[in-house]
Structure 1
Amino acid sequence: MSDRRAFLKTSVGVASGVVAGGYEQQEQVLAASAVASERIRLGVIGIGPRAKYVLGGMLKHKDVQCVAIADVQQTRRDAGKKLVDNVYGDAACETLGDFRQLLDRKDIDAVFIATGDRWHATASMLAAEAGKDVYSEKPCGITIDLCKQLAETIDRTGRVFQAGTQRRSVANFVEAVRLVHDGVLGDLKSLHATVYVPEIKTQWLPGQPTPNPKQCDWNLWLGPAPWRPYHQDYVNGRWRGYYDFDSGARLLDWGAHTVDLCQWAHHADDTVPVQYAADEKGVTATYADGTPLRIDFLQTPFGQRPGWIQSLGTCPVRFVGSKGTVEVGDSGGIAVSPEKLMSAVKPLPQKGSGLDVEAHSRNFFDCIKSRELPVANQNAMRQSHIACHAAAIAWMLGRTVKLDPKTLQFLDDDEANRLCARPERNWQ
């Protein structure tokens, strides 16, 4: 609590239908310049450990070719190029220190953005303006305003956008949502999401000498975030929890997945809960129809949840209906109660977990060709991310906040609305 209060003292006043790939196919042709060629030419912006894992899944699709990688760190650029060149057996993949040079390439159809959180929205919008389709790691925007701006930019430019919330394409999560949508659980009574305990670090690392920009471009690494003295740990991934770099006090690390799945189950891809009540153990969000969405803070990501049927791994969600309950997590399994409901569960593939990205990226690449909305499109992203941000703001303020689902502004709450945006540094 002390970190939260310290943050608020210094920060509050500073910042002024299921679609393609789900159960029902809904055609929506976007206003795009031209369909990509049969082989999709992909560029990568940011190539850390997560990016290499996702890219490895993307490269399994034979109609996709990675042609360029941009990263501010030379060691990461080189490692990414090695991964790609080993797949293709050549050295054709270009490496760049500035992602804007990648966006200037007219032959690139789409980009995969896997920078730190501070860059996701800005890089995605610049890519869309450059005529590229976008797959962005989550969280796709570190503020409510950036999530709104990103969705508006994608709509205006007519690009295809997929958020990296891959559990929308993983079999057991998809099946759990189907049980809700098909009425197997009866009337939906409550939804339950899990997230890490929110965190705002207030002790910055001591400054170190700034490296040669050719080795690591610190200014470009910071991007729109406020200026901060360089420290190697930041660029190596130890930036999480710092408000300037992170998203929603880390609530979106898991919430971008778990709250998103609850939104999907509740047919809420076009709306958000209207009230968020924070307490020491989590946030209770309530939809306009009265359905509660409980977001629980977990001290550890594994183990049995009190009152739940069984442990199902990381990122578990629980949907409770008048006729029964379903739970799923990253183990790839599914649990229902009462047990007789298991007869309504469709067989699941033996392989698969919440970390798998092949099906999710396949959905993205297919939609590049068809110009349909992907399963984790900009509209679904905006609403679920904003729900997470609103929950984080309720936690930061330590009280209940109310959100207008149409304007996505807090009602009669200047203090909360000031946390909807952050000042952006001129990094260019």
Structure 2
Amino acid sequence: MHMHLTNAARSGIKSSTGPYQQQAKGVAVPEIQPKITESMNQEADMSKKNPKVSRRSFLKGTAALAAAPYIVPASVFGRDGKVPPSERIVMGGIGIGGRGSYDLRYMLTDSDVQWVAVCDVQKSRRQAARDVVNKKYGNKDCAAYIDMRRFLAERTDVDAVLIATGDRWHALASILAMRAGKDVYCEKPACLTMAQGQAVVETARRYGRIYQTGAQRLSEPHHVFGIEMARSGRLGEIHTVYADCRWRDGMRHDWLGAQPEPPREEVDWDIWLGPCPWRPYNASYVNGRQWYHFYDFATDLAMWGAHTVAQALAGLDLTNTSFIEFEYDGPDKTMVTRLSNGVKLVLFRVSGSVWEPCKFWHGACGERFEGPEGWVSAADGYSAPDVSTPALMSEYKKVLADYTARTQRPLSHVRDFFDCIRSRRPTVANPEVMYRSMSICLAADICERLKRNLKFDLRKAEFAGDPEANRMRSRAMRAPYTI
């Protein structure tokens, strides 16, 4: 059965790969020689030789087969409403604990997607994810890998990957996957530094890959409504935008006490650390969210700002915006930024903040657009957007219908990713959208750490006249886990 693909999707497809894989012209996918332990060979060996079969048993088996009725399930041809295997997007997952487990279960509901492999450095998570996939399909075909480098090098049949590792791995895993010819859905925050973010953008362009960062509220109805109301001019010219960034009370720079390192097949600590500076093993890092509080492994504002700043920027016309000024105003974790087009973007923390919006704010991960004709707020926990006047809500259904008709995008972030794999058009949270919002989040983090005002040039991606701030746009990465 032939796949119904656009010309863009059809070009570059090879018979030895999954149906939606393609490689940028003139760019070779690099060979990766990972360190492979004996346990990796045992767990992911999908090519064991069959035992020898005698001539007599072979003839006996073929005779029985000839006598049996030849029945092909309707699903093979798609006649039962299911997508035939030849047209399914072949998926794998890297980092399948916590958020990754949720994403996996959600993505498994799409009938035009086939999961074939999972990868996680932690045995319990790796096996649990494999079991979820096998239960879904009623077989034992899902391969489980420890090392993503081996997974990416071996599985030429995989079209796309979910990356839901800890934040420290997001950028590098995305880059390795795209170099290996995979499209990428990467959880947020997509990078820990501006340099990493730039590398993701450049890799997606060079290898012609589809990339979606997990800023899923860009595809959720309440937030889409607020963004569309801001962009349409219905609120007048936007002068102020608020973004709930959930600042924390400082990132840790110490270590937890050393504990005996487990066998590599249980937790591969070296791969878990990846590009981060080495530190001794402690189970609290790998079980739960303790890593989230350490600067080596994460960021501050960008954890939530990857959502809300992206939402705020989506409602603004940034065509004539060349720089942003960041105003440090003490430890209350509220920062006013001023765009060169005159818009004020307020990055604030709901919990413990005395900022005025908190008097009316409810929910989390929200944004608010204000203009002379009214305002719209959207956040988790609402049954509907919050608006300055009930008249604005009368347009809710029409605004969403107009959005889907104009953009041809579904109000589903994951579905948008899968649709774009087929069409080869950019996703709603493509690399450029990701980098724009992450650069502002990371610049605000740097402003907070230096405790002084900064001016950031959006086009040059650098701070004006501040060498110290510019040095903080990147971090050292531990070999061999480098870009």
TM-score, normalization: structure 1?
Answer: 0.86
The Cα shift of 1:183 comes to 1.3
Which residue number corresponds to residue 75 of structure 2? none
Deviation per CA, 1:257-309, whole angstroms, max 9, x where unpaired? 001101111134996752111223311111111111000123269xx974468
Unaligned stretches of 5+ residues in structure 1: 1-26, 350-356
Structure 2: give runs of 5+ residues left out of the alignment. Answer: 1-5, 14-18, 21-85, 401-409
Cα distance in 2 for partners of 1:274, 1:191 equals 14
Query: Aligned in 2, Cα 1:269/1:255: closer, same or farther, shift over 3 Å?
Result: farther
Residues 344-396 of structure 1: per-residue CA shift (max 9 Å, x gap): 332799xxxxxxx9911110010000000000000000100001000111111
Q: Which residue of 2 aligns with 1:20?
A: none
- Cα 1:160–1:32 change in 2 (3 A) is farther
Give yes or no for contact 2:91–2:158 (8 Å, CA) kept in 1: yes
Contact residue 96 and residue 129 of structure 2 kept, 8 A = yes
Residue in 2 aligned with 1:17?
none
Cα distance change, pair 287–311 in 1 and its aligned pair in 2 (3 A): closer
Counterpart of 1:136, as a letter, is C
Q: CA RMSD in A?
A: 2.4
Is the CA contact (8 Å cut-off) linking 1:143 and 1:422 kept in structure 2?
A: yes
Match of 2:425 among 372, 380, 386: 372
Task: Describe the superposition over 1:119-152 as per-residue Cα deviations: whole angstroms up to 9, x where unpaired.
Answer: 0000100100000000000111100110011111
Partner of 1:205: 256
Bigger relative contact order, structure 1 or 2 (CA pairs below 8 A, ≥6 apart): 1
Q: Does 1:188 align with 2:212?
A: no
Cα distance change, pair 328–287 in 1 and its aligned pair in 2 (3 A): same
Q: 2: CA distance between counterparts of 1:403 and 1:113?
A: 30
CA distance in 1, matches of 2:277, 2:467: 23
Shift in alpha-carbon separation, 1:202–1:343, aligned structure 2, 3 A: same
Counterpart pick for 2:142 among 60, 70, 93 = 93
Query: Matched residues in 2 for 1:30 and 1:141: separation?
Result: 28
1:366–1:67: structure 2 CA closer, same or farther, 3 Å change rule? same
> Aligned runs of 1:205-224 on 2, under 5 Å?
205-224=256-275
Report the counterpart of residue 156 of structure 1 in structure 2.
206
1:403 and 2:403 are equivalent in the alignment: no
Shift in alpha-carbon separation, 1:28–1:202, aligned structure 2, 3 A: farther
Task: Give CA-to-partner distance per residue, 1:204-263, whole Å, 9 cap, x none.
Answer: 21011111111110000000000000000101131012111112xx21111000011011
Distance (Å, rounded) in 2 between the aligned partners of 1:270 and 1:74: 50
1:49-88 maps to which residues of 2 (within 5 A)?
49-88=98-137
1:170 aligns with 2:149: no
1-side partners of 2:237 and 2:245: how far apart? 25
Q: Distance in 2 between matches of 1:101 and 1:200?
A: 33
- State the structure with more CA Rg: 2
CA contact (8 A) 1:272 1:383 kept: no
Contact 1:224 1:426 in 2 (8 A): yes
Q: Distance in 1 between matches of 2:191 and 2:113?
A: 26
1:426 aligns to what SS in structure 2? coil
The alignment's TM-score, normalised by the length of structure 2, stands at 0.77
Are 1:39 and 2:88 matched, yes or no? yes
- Does the Cα contact within 8 Å between 2:324 and 2:457 map onto a contact in 1? yes
Which residue identity is paired with 2:279? Answer: R
Q: Given residue 157 of structure 1, which amino acid in structure 2 is its aligned partner?
A: Y
- Please state whether the residue corresponding to 1:403 is helix, strand or coil: strand
1:415 to 468, 472, 478: 468
Contact 1:117 1:245 in 2 (8 A): yes
How many equivalent residue pairs? 391
Q: Give the 3-state SS of the residue equivalent to 2:304 in structure 1.
A: helix
